[in-house]
Structure 1
Amino acid sequence: MLRIHFTSQDLARTTLAEEPDPLWEVLLSLHQLQVQDGTAHYGHWRERTRRQLPRPASRLLHLAPPRGYSPDFLTPAQHTGTFDEGVERVLCTSRGRFQQELQLLSVRRPASSWTRELAHGRGEAVKGLGQAMHTYHQSAIAPYWESMRTIVRADHQQKVSHLSGAGVDRLLGHIHPAVRWESPVLTVDGLPDSDLHLDGRGLRLQPSVFCWRTPTKLLDPNLPPVLVYPVKQGVGALRRGTAEQRSRPLAALLGTTRAAALEAIADGCTTTELAQRCSISLAGASRQAGILREAGLITTRRAGQAVRHDLTTLGRLVLDGCGAPIG
């Protein structure tokens, strides 16, 4: 387990990010792309991304094994800006750091010809890294970004509520089930046994949509400390496009009420929940579900005293097709 040691100065300098970090999401989503964990949360994203991932972006998989070490340079510790700004910081990594961190990576994952060139800071290899990051982000992250921001902001609001009148101590005690706060030490289960002394630098708490099960951190203890932790999200919460982007073409296709019903069923729900989500009567919800079911967009099954509705593959395709980025 990881033990993070705080001083009073560290408590005063601890911050909670309000937005997802695009570079951490790129790295952690690359991990998710190579495993089968979290199917309920990531299965649809994983299937679509694997199918549509451009070949130039696939070279990033060499840098991001799903288990073990990934180079710290992929997630600049002091980056809090846009994705483009973050990539520029990555590309400014020194040759010595490229070499050191890629050598660590090669212990578990044999170097490819490209990573060997990158380790020497060769211009074309570094340029290729930037191109791969941009291509991957455009395909796998950007279409879901607004949904990801909504999820992280909700987590931030929930965490901040714990601060009201209680201070950082209460926040540290409610980060994640794998994290325990016994002042002055924050213990994180599931990470290699080690101690991290903050020494007055504080800690940035970074919620992440693609972080799964266990929090993570940078390997180098000399870098500005950050603890990335998984946010709570509903099953299937990760969707393409904004609600507005989805709703306009979907409403044109199905009608406003029926489009709202299809979106409400995206995470699965009972008829009563459908009525509540769409602000319609129980009879109206049952009628809309029946029409969507007859069209092959949803399935309905009994769950105890209620019935549960879920999207079919066709329903998911319709919803995602209407959520494709506009422009």
Structure 2
Amino acid sequence: MLRIHFTARDLSRVRVVRLGPLALAQLAAPAMAARDDDHLYGRWRAEARARLTPRAVDTASWLFPYREMQVDLITLAGAEATDEEAAENLLALPQPQLNAELGLARLRGRRPPPWLRQLAAGDHEARRDLVLALRELRHAALAGADGRIGGLVDVEQAEFGRVLLAEGVGAALGRLHPLVRWDPPVLEIPSHGDGDVTLAGGDLLLAPSAFCWPAPHLYVSLDQRTRVLVYPAVRDLRQAAQLWGDPSGPPRAALAALLGRTRAAVLEAVAAGPVSTTVLARRANVSAPSASQHATALRAANLIMSQRSGTSMLHSVTPLGRSMLDGVTVGHDLPLLR
């Protein structure tokens, strides 16, 4: 768990921002590289991959690999920076600052490609190539979806502002995301490690993103003065379908896109009536260990409940799980499954 500690002054400086195009490129890169074809991004990912240039693919695989530690260009280039501003920031960045981030890419156990070695050596043309690759990543990710993604962020900014004005910054932080917990004056974020962050007058930017999934992620600038908390902007099943798939498709199709086809099938099997793990496996056409694993994840997300009956475990659907199956908008109570 990562804990962000606030003072009263820190709370007054919190704001929601729209990520700039090159920041979006970094977040979109691992989403495009995901290997799970049942993932939320579905059809968009296949179309985006088809637009990728070889340079963009190589850059993404080294700097922003799927499910690995990524180089942070979001704070280096500027989270809110326009395309031109971000390019200028990267081109003017002192070499030691860039190398501090590039060190992550150079420690992957593979021999770095020539362009990465040149970038670390201070070659100016290599920097220009990096900017071009980021622009190509952005084009591949946003072509045809820029308006929808921008609209989603507008909704998040408006909702945060509404709660902020009506109930205060604490309430706005408390409703930021289902996996984020506000325990005044600390904001708790799920993390692979355990740590504490003290803002001490620095900025905390909240950045909703369609490419962030399934949990929020904190980016911290090298000087520790700016923190960018990127969190998932997709809030319900219809929203997911409208953004990434066929907006006219049925709620069950959106559910499969959101949870994955197998996990959605397990949820439907539980909803058919209280069921043991053995029968659940048969209904969902999966192995018993797989059924147990999916049931554990669904139970952790409050989509099903389980209780022991003799030597068996009986699973049943919760009201929230039923709402998801019925395609009801569940807003900020939407569970996000790992």
Question: TM-score w.r.t. structure 2 length?
Answer: 0.67
Are 2:140 and 1:158 aligned?
A: no
1:169 maps to amino acid? G
Cα distance, 1:143 vs structure 2 = 2.9
Whole-Å Cα distance in 2 between the matches of residues 142 and 92 of structure 1? Answer: 28
8 Å CA contact retained: 2:40, 2:244: no
Cα distance, 1:103 vs structure 2 = 1.4
Cα distance, 1:197 vs structure 2 = 0.6
Partner secondary structure for residue 143 of structure 1: coil
Whole-Å Cα distance in 1 between the matches of residues 39 and 250 of structure 2? Answer: 11
* Cα distance change of structure 1 residues 221 and 51 upon mapping to structure 2, 3 Å threshold: same
Whole-Å Cα distance in 2 between the matches of residues 268 and 91 of structure 1? Answer: 47
Whole-Å Cα distance in 2 between the matches of residues 229 and 153 of structure 1? Answer: 14
1:136 maps to amino acid? L
1:94 aligns with 94
Are 2:157 and 1:175 aligned?
A: no
8 Å CA contact retained: 2:77, 2:89: no
1:63 aligns with 63
Q: In the TM superposition, what are the counterparts of 1:295-314 in structure 2 within 5 Å?
A: none
Are 2:51 and 1:49 aligned?
A: no
1:124 maps to amino acid? E
* Cα distance change of structure 1 residues 238 and 221 upon mapping to structure 2, 3 Å threshold: farther
Cα distance, 1:161 vs structure 2 = 2.5
Are 2:106 and 1:106 aligned?
A: yes
Cα distance, 1:50 vs structure 2 = 1.5
Whole-Å Cα distance in 2 between the matches of residues 163 and 74 of structure 1? Answer: 26
Whole-Å Cα distance in 1 between the matches of residues 70 and 44 of structure 2? Answer: 22
Q: Give the CA RMSD over aligned residues.
A: 2.5
Cα distance, 1:107 vs structure 2 = 2.2
Cα distance, 1:210 vs structure 2 = 0.2
1:236 maps to amino acid? A
Cα distance, 1:78 vs structure 2 = 4.1
* Cα distance change of structure 1 residues 165 and 264 upon mapping to structure 2, 3 Å threshold: closer
8 Å CA contact retained: 1:77, 1:226: no
Whole-Å Cα distance in 1 between the matches of residues 25 and 57 of structure 2? Answer: 12
8 Å CA contact retained: 1:98, 1:120: no
2:42 maps to amino acid? G
1:9 aligns with 9
Whole-Å Cα distance in 1 between the matches of residues 64 and 185 of structure 2? Answer: 33
Whole-Å Cα distance in 1 between the matches of residues 36 and 171 of structure 2? Answer: 30
| Cα-to-partner distance string for 1:75-129 (whole Å, 9 max, x where unaligned) | 4364423223222212222211222211133223532221111111212211111
Structure 2 residue runs of 5 or longer lacking an equivalent are 253-325, 327-338
Whole-Å Cα distance in 2 between the matches of residues 196 and 16 of structure 1? Answer: 19
Whole-Å Cα distance in 2 between the matches of residues 74 and 63 of structure 1? Answer: 12
* Cα distance change of structure 1 residues 269 and 165 upon mapping to structure 2, 3 Å threshold: closer
1:96 maps to amino acid? P
* Cα distance change of structure 1 residues 51 and 190 upon mapping to structure 2, 3 Å threshold: same
Instruction: Calculate percent identity across the aligned residue pairs.
Output: 32
Whole-Å Cα distance in 1 between the matches of residues 224 and 81 of structure 2? Answer: 21
1:81 aligns with 81
Are 2:240 and 1:235 aligned?
A: yes
Are 2:250 and 1:268 aligned?
A: yes
1:15 maps to amino acid? R
Structure 1 residue runs of 5 or longer lacking an equivalent are 241-262, 271-307, 309-327
2:72 aligns with 72
